[in-house]
């Protein structure tokens, strides 16, 4: 009986410590203009989440409802692997973050320079200029 209790405690402690955790980010649009977007994001890596969502998802209820890159995320990353490797893994995306500060509630206020990131995508032939 003693061994069953010990076994039960071991299994129970393993189950508690091995539970899966889901990373959920919450995003709130603070201000959106043609040149920048200000967000409050609660996530593990808020700058990455903000730029990734801007490029491939867009932000509802803002000036940027459509993603900057309209092509499938997988397709465009296969087409331009060196650009996206440098952009995300080389932390180049951080050069388009104008400001990133931590709020008292644990979220981060992030300002993204839309003009600069759009120009960079155009210059690297990831997207085309509007109307061309």
Spell out the residues 6+ positions from residue 32 whose beta carbon is closer than 8 angstroms to its own: 38, 59, 62, 63, 64
Contact present, 83 and 91 (Cβ < 8 Å)? no
111: closest CA among 63, 45, 52, 41?
A: 41
Location of structure tokens 């080389």 = 90
pTM: 0.78
pLDDT in tens, 32-76: 999 999 999 999 999 999 999 999 999 988 889 999 999 999 999
pLDDT in tens, 89-108: 999 999 999 999 999 999 99
Q: How many C-beta atoms surround the C-beta of residue 32 within 10 A?
A: 18
């Amino acid at each position: 009986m003693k061994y069953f209790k010990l076994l039960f405690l071991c299994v129970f402690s393993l189950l508690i410590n091995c539970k899966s955790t889901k990373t959920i980010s919450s995003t709130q649009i603070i201000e959106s203009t043609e040149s920048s977007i200000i967000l409050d994001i609660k996530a593990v890596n808020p700058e990455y989440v903000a730029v990734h969502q801007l490029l491939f998802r867009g932000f509802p209820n803002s000036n940027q409802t459509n993603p900057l890159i309209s092509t499938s995320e997988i397709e465009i990353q296969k087409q331009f692997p060196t650009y996206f490797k440098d952009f995300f893994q080389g932390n180049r995306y951080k050069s388009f973050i104008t400001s990133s500060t931590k709020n008292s509630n644990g979220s981060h206020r992030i300002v993204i320079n839309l003009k600069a990131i759009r120009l960079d995508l155009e210059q690297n032939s990831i997207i085309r200029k509007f109307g061309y």
